[in-house]
Amino acid sequence: MPRIGFSEIPSGPESVPFSSDSTVARLSPGVVTLHFRLVSADERSLEALRYARRAMLREESTRGVADDEPSLEEAVFSAFDVVWSVPPAWRAACRAKLRDLVARANRVLADESESRRASRTAPRPRTP
């Protein structure tokens, strides 16, 4: 059964440009960019990831999100990466959302594999 691998790519410290006449950099809460590498075997894996993401976006839409909570909709997905700029206070929660996303996608793949295996081993009705 193919599985989607998932690992965070560490980023360097965010640099703040020096400005002697402004306090904007100190007052701004800033953002942290989370960057994750996705390792998937095939198109089925990517489709499972898309399916899980759509489900999570529907859940966000149904329950709503807190005023400052980043939506999964803001994350940028490619075939190999996820990049998501979030407020520092939400870093851990967003990592957890992405872990949940990959876990859901892997469950979809496992269910698909089990369904295919069951359909191959099921006895076929005889035709006279």
| Number of domains observed in the structure of the chain | 1
pTM: 0.76
* Gap between the Cα atoms of 2 and 116, Å rounded: 13
- 7 found inside a domain: no
Range(s) of the domain holding residue 73 = 29-119
- 35 found inside a domain: yes
- 16 found inside a domain: no
- 109 found inside a domain: yes
As to burial, measured by CB atoms within 10 angstroms (0-12 exposed, 13-18 middle, 19+ buried), residue 109 is: buried
- 14 found inside a domain: no
pLDDT, average across residues 87-113: 94
- 85 found inside a domain: yes
- 21 found inside a domain: no
pLDDT, average across residues 58-68: 91
- 52 found inside a domain: yes
